[in-house]
Amino acid sequence: MGAVVNLLAIESATDLVGAAVVTSDGRIFERSHAGGRQHAELLAPSVDAVCHEAALAVADLDAVAVDIGPGLFTGLRVGVATAKALAQGLGVGLVGVTSLDVLAADAMARVAAGEATGRVGDLTVVAVVDARRGEVFVARYRSGSGGRPAAGVGAAGAGGRPGSPVEDPAHSLVGGPELLVPEVLAASLAAGPIAGGRTVVVGGGALRYCDLLRAAPGVDLSLSEEVRAPSPAVLARLALARLGAGEPLVAPVDLVPEYRRDADAKINWEQRVPVVPGSPAVPPTPR
């Protein structure tokens, strides 16, 4: 594909709802809200606000990026449906990025920004999204031995330039994504980092179960408050970097969310179905 000039990123996988636009000159505009369950009410105004701040019409967008999860079922459906509708209407392609990749990219950028050398060193990042019902979505990433991260991805404020560069976490995924109970995650963290070095745990799931996870030796939760939800700005930068590295845009019909489990409504319904001895089990819904 040719160069993407203007990219819109849509974020709704967790309680945070928002959007960001990266413009042709590298500026980024971001609007986000701690929306709770108001994903549908807050997402469209966020998209409108960032396009207005960037002095762009929706028709000026060349691509749409969206967080495909895992995360809240309803939030994901709102975000992915909005992204697909915009892309279909504009005749542009999509970039799907996981919520766990966005959290890891944000954490790596912040660690790099805090280092005098600008290098992240031997670092394991564990991204944890609160899955509700006493479970968490988890993925682990490993940054390579002090190497300089690739430029182009990082946190930035509204109207700002890119922040500290960071490598694409998808290139250093070493475990997951998976659905765990917090006790199992804590036990795995207690076993120590994957290959020595520092272990940073981030995300809303880490914040919710911080007392349990803090008991694991060597676990660094210092960024969990700052990196509690996927950032629309980091999502935008990560998507743009992937396009620059040659990842193709996806047609709206081909974009598939990472739900990783059934909807709450289906689970609750199946729990109420009486079990008749000798009857076949209800087959699981394909993921």
Query: What is the pLDDT confidence band of residue 134, given thresholds at 50, 70 and 90?
Result: very high
Domain around 36:
7-98+230-265
Give dist(CA 79, CA 67) in Å, integer: 7
Residue 273 inside a domain? The answer is no
Per DSSP, the residues of 233-284 read HHHHHHHHHHHHTTPPPB-GGG------S--HHHHHHHHHSPPPTTPPPPPP
Residue 147 inside a domain? The answer is yes
Q: In what order do the strands lie in the sheet with 7-11?
A: 28-34, 16-22, 7-11, 63-67, 93-97
Unique residue bearing structure tokens 């598939």: 256
Among 158, 160, 153, residue whose Cα is nearest residue 18: 158
Strands of 35-151, DSSP E: 63-67, 93-97, 123-132, 135-143
- 92 and 150 inside one domain: no
Query: Of 193, 220, 247, which residue is a domain's last?
Result: 220
Query: What is the pLDDT confidence band of residue 17, given thresholds at 50, 70 and 90?
Result: very high
Give dist(CA 148, CA 94) in Å, integer: 29
Residue 284 inside a domain? The answer is no
Residue 186 inside a domain? The answer is yes
Question: 211, 115 in Cβ contact below 8 A?
Answer: no
Taking each continuous run of H as one helix and of E as one strand, the counts in the chain are: 8, 10
Give dist(CA 120, CA 125) in Å, integer: 11
Unique residue bearing structure tokens 């998507």: 239
Highest average pLDDT, of 57-66, 145-154, 169-178, comes from: 57-66
Looking at the predicted structure, is the pLDDT value of residue 191 above 90? no
Lowest mean pLDDT among 17-26, 70-79, 160-169: 160-169
Lowest mean pLDDT among 33-47, 130-144, 183-197, 268-282: 268-282
Give dist(CA 208, CA 167) in Å, integer: 27
Residue 129 inside a domain? The answer is yes
Section 126-153 average pLDDT: 76
Query: Of 190, 220, 250, which residue is a domain's last?
Result: 220
Strands of 144-237, DSSP E: 173-180, 198-202, 219-220
Tokens of 87: 């892309």
Residue 149 inside a domain? The answer is yes
Q: What is the CATH number of the domain that holds 114?
A: 3.30.420.40
Section 64-84 average pLDDT: 96
